Amino acid sequence: MERTLLILKPDCLQRRLTGRILQRFEDKGLVLAGMKLMQISTDLAERHYAPHKGKPFYPGLIDYITSGPVVVMVLAGQRAIDISRTLMGKTFGYEAQPGTIRGDFGASRTFNLIHGSDSPETAATEIALYFNDDELLDYAPVGSEWVFQPGEE
For the stretch 25-46, pLDDT in tens is 999 999 999 999 999 999 999 9
Integer CA distances (angstroms), 142 to 29, 146, 147, in order: 11, 9, 10
Radius of gyration for the chain, computed over Cα atoms and rounded to the nearest angstrom: 15
Strand partners, 7: 72, 115
First to last CA, the chain: 10
pLDDT at res. 141: 82
What mean pLDDT do residues 61-86 have? 97
DSSP-derived letter for residue 143 is: T
What mean pLDDT do residues 71-98 have? 95
Domains and CATH numbers, the chain: 2-135 (3.30.70.141)
Q: Is a pLDDT exceeding 90 seen at residue 147?
A: no
Report, as residue numbers or ranges, the catalytic residues.
Answer: 115
pTM of the model: 0.92
**Beta-carbon count within 10 A of 34 CB:** 20
Q: Is a pLDDT exceeding 80 seen at residue 149?
A: no
What's the pLDDT tens digit per position in 113-143?
999 999 999 999 999 999 999 999 998 888 7
Nearest to 75 by CA among 136, 146, 145, 132: 136
pLDDT tier for residue 148 given thresholds of 50, 70 and 90:
confident
Q: By percentage, how much of the chain surpasses pLDDT 90?
A: 84
pLDDT at res. 153: 63
